[in-house]
Amino acid sequence: MSTLAVSKPTPGPARNTREIDTRPLLWPSVIVLFLWMIVPLAMTLYFSVIRYNLLNPTLTGFAGLENYGFLFEDPVLWDALWNTLVLVGSVLIITVVLGTLFAVLYNAEFHGRNVARLLVIAPFFVMPTVSALVWKNMLMHPVNGLFAWMQGLVGMAPTDWLTNYPMLSVIIIVSWQWTPFAFLILLTSIQSLDSEQQEAARIDGAGPVAMFWFIILPHLSRAISVVIMIETIFLLTIFAEIYVTTAGGPGTATTNLAWLIYSVGLLQFDVGYASAGGVIAVILANIVAIFLVRTVSRNLQQT
């Protein structure tokens, strides 16, 4: 210790007026976010290892991994995980493919480009409950919906979308909401494409397809990965769309992880069991989050 004190360097010129105490500026945000992150999460973890049912106060005590045991034995969990995977995977594929194609299409020159772009991004700004209800009632309704009328025009029997194809219907609705997000991000990215590079490729005889595969797609790859990661985080816990359309049904056909936790916790009031589900959701989201944070951190170092 004393040797350290001896070799202590004298304060250098780095100590200028710029060094102020930033703690009073920074800490309010850090503290509230820390509390927001740690308190409910600790409670979820704690609830997940005790017996806690709001309807049955006699049920108490430490449960160990009992809730997790019940959860993993419950076929509903596996349905919910599968449905979550199907929903997230399908929506990701649809939105990224359409978003990329739209980005290429709306980057080209044409009449009224700015207005057309506004129309395409509009669905992203519509609140989820409105989107889901417009699709459910006015488009997919088996009697009065537009789709039923269009099927009637070509002599087909109308489809009861939400009853017969519940997951497909939810996927369509959610994709409609999120394609504009992918489009907006990818359009921004495509606009930063070097036009000289494109010109050079064109002179070298690259057709539109080769141009797309070898110039545009590689340029978009990072933006696409960002879109995938951000969407995944939001799509893992899609809730409002299911709440107003299918309520997780029929049966468990559209029960995703978010709906399972909601229905066990706030409809059946089994806090312990629902919290175990919550922990699983947190773990899944964190796996995705690690990748996202890495990408962003790489970007932070570049600037």
Partner 1 sequence: MNDARKKLWTTVLAWVVALLVFFPILWMGLTAFKTETVAVSTPPALVFSPTTDNFREVFERSNYGRFVWNSIAVSFGSTILALVFAIPAAYAMAFFPTKRTSGTLLWMLSTKMMPPVGVLIPIYLLFRDAGLLDTVTGLILIYTLINLPIVVWMLYTYFKDVPGEIMEAGRVDGARPMQELFLLLIPLALPGIASTGLLSIILSWNEAFWSLNLTSSGGAPLTAFIASYSSPQGLFWAKLSAASLMAIAPILIIGWMSQKQLVSGLTFGAVK
Min dist CB 173 to partner 1, Å, is 9
Interface of this chain with partner 1, residues 17 to 56, rule: CB under 8 A: 17-20, 22, 24-26, 28-30, 32-33, 36-37, 39-41, 43-44, 47
Min dist CB 180 to partner 1, Å, is 8
Interface of this chain with partner 1, residues 118 to 177, rule: CB under 8 A: 118-139, 144, 146, 149, 152, 176
Among 244, 252, 254, 255, binds partner 1 (CB under 8 A): 244
Does 267 sit near partner 1 (CB under 8 A)? no
- Using the rule CB under 8 A, give the single segment among 5-13, 14-22, 58-66, 89-97 that binds partner 1: 14-22
Among 189, 254, 255, 263, binds partner 1 (CB under 8 A): 189
Does 113 sit near partner 1 (CB under 8 A)? yes
Min dist CB 140 to partner 1, Å, is 10
Distance from the Cα of residue 25 to its chain's centroid: 31
Site string for partner 1, 93-112 (x = CB under 8 A): ---------x--xx-xxxxx
Does 116 sit near partner 1 (CB under 8 A)? yes
